[in-house]
Structure 1
């Protein structure tokens, strides 16, 4: 007898088990989703405000630069801090700081202070605190959920990100148009309360090395005679580990010695650096499709729509155990979709392949993040999430530079087709030389 249609559909749609079964994760996911929409509203409002003050697209572009540099500089250090302190407290402190910075933007707008330097400074501080906040939040997830639910949790996080990226800028533009810049900023302040509430309700998230040290201290305090002395020595060693300063270098050394985790970053760079199409959208909209700014908007939205659909129909991801192989296939699919987009001259067909690329990127992201969370020890998760943040932020920027330079030297077609084929070649070589990665099994995670 065939399975009921509803049950088949539920196996395809996003698995909401983590939201249904774990209240702490549910609150954290909802808070992150709401606050991310607010952050995207603020990002749009800042760009509009800078343009209104300067009338210069160059100055608007500098907003991204003032965000990028602190994110890269502090992403690694923020992850290191998250590995030696209470992650809940770190998340709370940085979320409060981000809330106050959004409030500062609202005050600047209400007071009609026309200073782009002040706006750049606030944006840079936002990036600093976000770089400290993101690794702490991400490294909490494996402590809130069983390992088998991590793929579903990461797919839900991708879904939230897609909603934020699509709804945030649109709502930001609407609120700015009707009620001014301060409206977007004040709504962002209100949105942060959801994240603050979720963090407040979480239990303490001390790294496991600290918890082990405290357990050792308690055992030593209960001992007597020679055993007490020996326990004190062991406890002293554990306390020394627990009190160590946050070390970025230690995290990088750990990553260098773990081929599977290292390959998750190499594979993502192969996609984001070699086959990044977004910087070419303005050129191809005019040259290939005889379009205008609305065509550019469609091209830019297509990968996001594909990523969102990939998250919505992600129920099958939790049944995949060969996650390394899935990453290789997904990134190869990204490269193929970008290459075919470079050959098509039909707008709707091009949008379809860009959407397929976005869907493949979601699959890759879900499994790469799951591998980082499941295979890494707790006292390294913050640092690895910091590296993840740097790669996710910096890789596409390098890809923009490479694609733009190639298009100027040759043509957009060469940049897109060549980049897609280079991505396929690179990820094939990764699979050949890192065979352990393609054999990675989620049931027995090995870093």
Structure 2
């Protein structure tokens, strides 16, 4: 295999693009501000109440929106203008943080108000996250997308590593109210960059999707995209084992290493630094190894780190082990993120990434709770060792769910119109049954049947329901494809959503047709619910 040119593998190449660089720097400031808020809010809550439960509820209030609103947020990222959605959600968080800061300085905050403000900040972050993630392919060329995603991972990890420490120092220096106001100011950078960015938007002739329809379409797409499902399965398998280390590290530091809270913070920082290094080396590693090989190597390295941490009883050796664990964990997660983005066409990218992020969040929550219960029952060494062994075993998923399949998916719009019988219907007319008649000779039936699954998945990915293929028992060359669209406008979306991979699936079937006329889409309208 030839080595890709340096420009394609350098982790810094996307930073040469002005808009991406400005947004990347602004996102670091914004993410640091968000971590500062959590530290400040937790400290403020301890001064407002002696209830440990209320202090813990701050983390719940911050995380809950990501579980409840992830799918609607993904749908909004696809049906609304992503630039405007980012501007709205960033402005929302700025206002919420500023109000909380002002109320705190006025000594008007109570536990309920602090929890509410944290929840509302989480709502803004959740609603904006899919849109923010979805614009990366619009900012950089396709050849630089893996490096850009790795840099975004660097921004997230670096913010998580330094944000809490900066927050702790600033709480002591300017108080919680001042930190909340600084968090509000941290959103100004993203707002300014996105405001001046002139996004290339192609005006569509069709009205935007309804939110509930968009969510159903997104879930149907995931169900019929085997390459994306492979990424999701691999992500779930990894994160269910990965979460054991970060969730139990505090207990490891106190019980096994006999160290203080400051050492715990230091070890978290080491884990973060390792993650940053992992994200930075990934573009060059991708030039040498396949995604499946990278995921395998880094997963086994992380498993070895878990097994090693399980045996540690001293602080010094924990530092290099946690550095390697951070590097390995980020290597796997960035590889999965790149694979997910590469199989998602623009029209569904927000919903697809929302599902991907939800898998990670749910998986981490279940991992933390599950390995915590194991540690309470049989001890830390057994729990960490079991997580390491489970992680090594789950790498076998790569045999059946290969990430390399993502590289064969062509997500570019095909702009191909299938022949159809002309007719005029109102946008809300429906449901619509679409039929296509093919004539397939007996000597092509085996190839026809082999091509049918790809056609079925293509139609259903793009929004069709109740797909079926029928054969005529009398005229054995005759085969009729049928599928349902809920309305005429939803059928019209199908042609706009067709990608290069979808077009290949259709063309493969058409190449077997031997009739005197081309197969044509014909529509049947349900009289029962016709609104025209």
Q: Which has the higher strand share?
A: 2
**1: CA distance between counterparts of 2:75 and 2:56?**
30
- The 1:298/1:176 distance shift into structure 2, 3 A limit, reads closer
Partner of 1:377: 345
Q: Does 1:261 align with 2:257?
A: no
Q: Does 1:326 align with 2:317?
A: no
Flag structure 2 segments of 5+ consecutive residues without an equivalent. Answer: 412-500, 503-532
Q: State whether residues 271 and 334 of structure 1, in contact with CA within 8 Å, keep that contact through their aligned partners in structure 2.
A: no
Flag structure 1 segments of 5+ consecutive residues without an equivalent. Answer: 1-7, 215-238
C-alpha distance after superposition, 1:296-328 (max 9, x if no partner) = 333333321210222344451452562243224
**2: CA distance between counterparts of 1:263 and 1:88?**
30
Partner of 1:155: 150
**2: CA distance between counterparts of 1:100 and 1:426?**
44
Q: State whether residues 325 and 440 of structure 1, in contact with CA within 8 Å, keep that contact through their aligned partners in structure 2.
A: no
Aligned pair partner of 1:30 in 25, 33, 36: 25
C-alpha distance after superposition, 1:364-398 (max 9, x if no partner) = 22222222222211111101121233233332221
Deviation at 1:197? 0.6
Partner of 1:121: 116
Deviation at 1:250? 1.8
**2: CA distance between counterparts of 1:213 and 1:325?**
41
Q: State whether residues 61 and 118 of structure 2, in contact with CA within 8 Å, keep that contact through their aligned partners in structure 1.
A: yes
Deviation at 1:284? 2.3
Where 1:113 maps in the other structure, the secondary structure is coil
**2: CA distance between counterparts of 1:13 and 1:179?**
43
Deviation at 1:444? 6.6
Partner of 1:217: none
**2: CA distance between counterparts of 1:332 and 1:256?**
29
Deviation at 1:122? 0.9
What TM-score do you get using the length of structure 2 for normalisation? 0.71
Higher RCO (C-alpha 8 Å, min separation 6): 1
Partner of 2:211: 245
Q: State whether residues 98 and 126 of structure 1, in contact with CA within 8 Å, keep that contact through their aligned partners in structure 2.
A: yes
Q: CA RMSD of the aligned region, Å?
A: 2.5
Partner of 2:11: 15
Partner of 2:63: 68
Partner of 1:99: 94
Q: Which has the higher helix share?
A: 1
Deviation at 1:152? 0.8
- The 1:126/1:320 distance shift into structure 2, 3 A limit, reads farther
Aligned pair partner of 1:53 in 38, 41, 48: 48
- The 1:324/1:348 distance shift into structure 2, 3 A limit, reads same
Partner of 1:361: 329
Aligned pair partner of 2:315 in 337, 347, 362: 347
**1: CA distance between counterparts of 2:165 and 2:73?**
30
C-alpha distance after superposition, 1:164-223 (max 9, x if no partner) = 1122112211121111112111111222110001110222465xxxx3734xxxxxxxxx
Aligned pair partner of 1:193 in 185, 188, 191: 188
Deviation at 1:410? 0.6
Q: Does 1:43 align with 2:67?
A: no
**Highest Rg: 1 or 2?**
2
Deviation at 1:437? 2.9
Q: State whether residues 25 and 144 of structure 1, in contact with CA within 8 Å, keep that contact through their aligned partners in structure 2.
A: yes
Deviation at 1:153? 0.6
- The 1:328/1:380 distance shift into structure 2, 3 A limit, reads farther
Q: How many residues align?
A: 407
**2: CA distance between counterparts of 1:90 and 1:169?**
28
Partner of 1:3: none
Partner of 2:418: none
Where 2:74 maps in the other structure, the secondary structure is helix
C-alpha distance after superposition, 1:230-281 (max 9, x if no partner) = xxxxxxxxx15x4443522321221122222222222222222224222322
Deviation at 1:66? 1.1
Where 1:343 maps in the other structure, the secondary structure is coil
- The 1:205/1:116 distance shift into structure 2, 3 A limit, reads farther
Q: State whether residues 40 and 176 of structure 2, in contact with CA within 8 Å, keep that contact through their aligned partners in structure 1.
A: yes
Deviation at 1:110? 0.9
